[in-house]
Amino acid sequence: LSEELIVRTAMRLIDDPDGPGFSLRRLGLALGADPTAIYRYFENTDDLLAAVTDQIIGDSQAGYEPHPDWRIALREFGIRVYRHAQRHPRLAVFGAARVSLRANEFRAVDTGIGLLRRAGFDPENAVRNYHAFVDLVLGFAALDAAGAPVNSPARWTAVYSSLPDDEYPAVAGVREHIHSMAGSAFETALDLLLSAIAAQAARRG
């Protein structure tokens, strides 16, 4: 039994889509140990899941080589975090809202702020813009991960396609495009945010 083995086993339970989901008791079973043995290594369930979250942040940054163009680099950074969150949807909802206060998070924050400094922003605006950027990424990560298993795109499209024209005139006027809202808006939002940040950088630079 060790921190590392516990984190790895917890991740396996969380990610198995056919499995019964994660619980401390099931983690104990999977480890072949009494569930309460885990309290020797983590304060409680939250603490353990924070460690798993930090592991995923680390994975998302593995092999990341920032592109010389800060905007392209930041875009890839965001997409990596988002994609890794979607790969672990049951943790994304939990992990996105929490700061892990661990090494992998520190490194990611340092990289992101460094990219915006390179873009020419002073300390205050680099921090402000990085904060908006990373929370947009985490917000969409949580939203899309939580929504995917529960929202039916087909049902959504069916309902919105058949709303009465007189009561919902704006929806009626965009009927042939409403289906696109069943997917994720993450990349659209990310690109809008990055273009606004780039415009700001251009005005300052």
Does residue 110 interact with a second copy by CB under 8 A?
yes
- From CA 63, how far away is CA 71, in angstroms rounded? 18
Residue in 48, 136, 29 with CA at minimum distance from that of residue 85: 136
Residues 6 or more apart from 172 whose CB is under 8 A from it?
A: 163, 165
Q: How far is the CB of 142 from DNA (least distance, A)?
A: 20
Among 4, 16, 46, 69, binds DNA (CB under 7 A): 46
Residues 3-42 that bind DNA (CB under 7 A): 20, 22-26, 33-37, 39-40
Q: Residue 79: which H helix or E strand, with range?
A: helix 70-87
CB-CB contact of 121 with 146 (8 Å) = no
Choices 21-29, 34-42, 54-62, 144-152 (CB under 8 A): range interacting with a second copy: 144-152
How many of the other CB atoms lie within 10 Å of CB of 192?
12
Both tokens assigned to 166: 């007189």
Does residue 1 interact with a second copy by CB under 8 A?
no
Does residue 51 interact with a second copy by CB under 8 A?
no
Among 7, 73, 81, 126, binds a second copy (CB under 8 A): 126
Residues 162-181 that bind a second copy (CB under 8 A): 163, 167-171, 173-178, 180-181
Choices 11-19, 32-40, 63-71, 130-138 (CB under 8 A): range interacting with a second copy: 130-138
Both tokens assigned to 16: 């198995």
Binding partner of residue 37 among a second copy, DNA, none, CB cut-off 5 to 8 Å per kind: DNA
Q: How far is the CB of 148 from DNA (least distance, A)?
A: 19
Beta strand ranges found along the chain (DSSP E): none
- From CA 135, how far away is CA 117, in angstroms rounded? 18
Residues 57-116 that bind DNA (CB under 7 A): none
Decide: residue 53, CB within 10 A, 0-12 exposed, 13-18 middle, 19+ buried.
buried
Q: How far is the CB of 180 from DNA (least distance, A)?
A: 31
Residue in 65, 98, 64 with CA at minimum distance from that of residue 81: 64
Does residue 99 interact with a second copy by CB under 8 A?
yes
Which CB, 34 or 191, lies closer to DNA? 34
Residues at the interface with DNA (CB under 7 A): 1, 20, 22-26, 33-37, 39-40, 44-46
